[in-house]
Structures are given as structure tokens and as C-alpha cells.
Amino acid sequence: MNIIYLDNSATTRVEEETLQVMNQYHSTWFGNPSSLHGMGLTAEKAVDGCRRAMGQILSVKPEEIVFTSGGTESNNLAILGGIEKQKRRGRKLITSKTEHPSVLEAFRHAEREGMDVVYLDVDAEGRVRLDQLEENLDEDTMLVSIMHVNNETGVIQDLESIGKAIKNANKNTIFHCDCIQSFGKIPVKPRQWQADMVSLSAHKMHGPKGLGALYMKKNLGIHPIFHGGGQEGGLRSGTENVAGIAGWHQVLKNLDMEADQGQMRGLKTAFLDTLEKSVADIQINSPLGDGFVHHIASVSFADLRGKYCSTHWREKGSMFPPDPPAPRKNGDKVMCWSSSPWKKPTWKGPFGSVFPG
């Protein structure tokens, strides 16, 4: 079956070369990186190799990279660990209304624990309102968390301006960025943004599931949320996922963001052009341009529920997500994520013929 997969913002395929590397560390070099014998040292070397590669891509020190079980844990470690560190500095937290649930739910938990949380509005294109952020920043602000790329619309936040505003208002405020949807696709620049922490995930970029990372500025000193053997500099206890980390390293070795984004721009252009020519009453929520990533396409179809469209195309061998659990305006939406080759559809004509017979 020739599957058309348009859900790469949810997860990606692991390439064969990466699987082969991972299998070596599952079956041959399966030592615990905390062990002092030869196999343990080989495992530790694999972990450190990925840490160095990641540090080089981010232009940070390898020791500032902490491996986790995924993006959700990275976000929770950053937010909850940061709150615990900062709790004597203030009670105010700031995020936006369009963050990923792993960020929003962490803030809601903090709110239930008595913290004051400000949820920033976004403009018509989904960008955080900088004026509203600046109005809310003060000496009581302990932590701010803003995502880099929105996983539904592909909008890119101006993290450099956001970081500057945060540090100008209060140099002690922790600035966390969720870069799970951007890392490996467009440049991620923690130091340029003045970001204290950045969350990353492997399976969004053809790495294995169940593996993430957190960049944490040296000497930031957040509190761990797991307790145990003290791995990852005491911030994330538990034996590291050596095979997954080795696989992620292989992905990083093969990374060519410029070439990949060039291909994605071509695919997105063809996708959106064909939609606009073939279907009436659509709205492009993620236009081509510097303000949106090329690997995400968001489209609204008037009077058509996403789940029905998703069910139809699943039967045709295509896979893209139905309506995401997000606020809607101007009718129902179908959110399509595209980061793999797209085939021209057989249907044309008026909106009512979107389902071919």
C-alpha cells in the first residue's frame, strides 16, 4: 500500500540507518553507561557523542544538555523544576494561550498550587503580543515559557525580541523555550535568544520515540523532578536510553536543514497552490514566508469537519490528523501537517466535490 503520510508534526519515521545503529546498542553494546567496565564505558561514549553533537548544533556546551524521556518531560522538568528553584523570587508565571498541552498543563498545575499565571494573547497570525508581555513583566516574574514553532500552524515566534524584553525587565526571570517542533528543521539559538532552557524531542526529526533533551544554561540550578541514581548531572535520574541516544546522534550526523527546508518549501508551495486552484472556500493559516516554517501547512475548509476529512483520506491511504483540540474561529478547521512527499489529488472542481466517488 502506497501511504501518503501528512502527520510528521505528530511523529516521524525512523530511517533504516538509524535503526541499525540502535540495534547495535540493544544487542551488542548494551552496557549501562554508569558501569565502569568496558561495555559501560562504550555506552557512556555513545551518550557523550550525541551530547557533543547536540551542543555543537545549538552552540552550547555539551554539559548543558540533559537527556530525558521526551518533549513532555523536558517541558515539565524546565517549568516545574524552574518554579521550585525560583519560588522565593516571586509568584508570577507567564506563557501564551497557544502553547502545547505539556506546557499549558504544567502551568495549570502551578496555578492550582497557588501561583499567579498570565496567559498571553496572540495576534491574527498566532504570534505572541510583545506589548502584552512587556506589560506583565516585573520583579515578581519568576519564569516565562514560549514555544518557538507552533505545531498546528507553523508560526515562528520572535524569541530574540521576547528574550530581550524578559531580561531587560528582570534578569533573574527564567526564560524557557519549547523548540520541539523546530529543532533539526530551522536554527535554534539559545544564547542569541537569552534562553535559559530549551526543550527538544527526537521523534519529531526521524529519531526514536521516548527520547528528549533539555538545554539548561550552566549553573542555572533548577530542581530535579525525578529522584534516584543521580544520572544526567543529578537532574534526571534513571538509566539513559543509550540505544535511542545513539540513534539520535546518527540523525544529527545526517542533518542538512538547508536542503531539507528547500525541499519542504517546494512541497508546501505545490500543496497550497493546488488547494487554492482546486477547492473553493478555504483559508490558508500558514502562508509561505519567513514567519512560518515550510514543513507545516495549516488549512481551514469552510463547513467541513476535520474528522470526516481525515476518515475519508485514511480509507484512500492518506494519513493526516483531524481537528486538533484548539480554539476555533470562522468555522471548522482541518489541520494538515506536511513534511514528506505529497501526491497531487485526483479531485478537482467545486468545494462539494472534495470527496471523489
Read off the pLDDT of each residue in 15-31 and give the average, rounded to a whole number. Answer: 96
For residue 349, the model assigns a pLDDT of 27
For residue 201, the model assigns a pLDDT of 98
For residue 319, the model assigns a pLDDT of 60
pLDDT band per the 50, 70, 90 thresholds, residue 69: very high
CB neighbours of residue 283 within 10 Å? 12
Residue 320 pLDDT greater than 80, yes or no: no
- Report the distance separating Cα 137 and Cα 117, nearest Å: 12
- pLDDT tens-digit profile of 256-313? 999 999 999 999 999 999 988 988 888 899 999 889 999 999 988 887 777 777 777 6
- pLDDT tens-digit profile of 116-137? 999 999 999 999 999 999 999 9
- pLDDT tens-digit profile of 90-100? 999 999 999 99
Residue 108 pLDDT greater than 90, yes or no: yes
Read off the pLDDT of each residue in 4-17 and give the average, rounded to a whole number. Answer: 91
For residue 40, the model assigns a pLDDT of 92
Whether the CB-CB separation of 298 and 336 falls below 8 Å is answered with yes
Residue 345 pLDDT greater than 60, yes or no: no
Name the residue type at position 311.
T
For residue 353, the model assigns a pLDDT of 26
Proportion of the chain above pLDDT 90, given as a percent: 75
Read off the pLDDT of each residue in 198-225 and give the average, rounded to a whole number. Answer: 96
Looking at every residue in the chain, the average pLDDT score rounds to 87
The residue written with cell numbers 538509566 in the block is 239
Proportion of the chain above pLDDT 70, given as a percent: 86
CB neighbours of residue 337 within 10 Å? 23
pTM (two decimals): 0.87
Whether the CB-CB separation of 197 and 223 falls below 8 Å is answered with no
The residue written with cell numbers 539559538 in the block is 189
Whether the CB-CB separation of 98 and 126 falls below 8 Å is answered with yes
For residue 264, the model assigns a pLDDT of 92
Residue 352 pLDDT greater than 50, yes or no: no
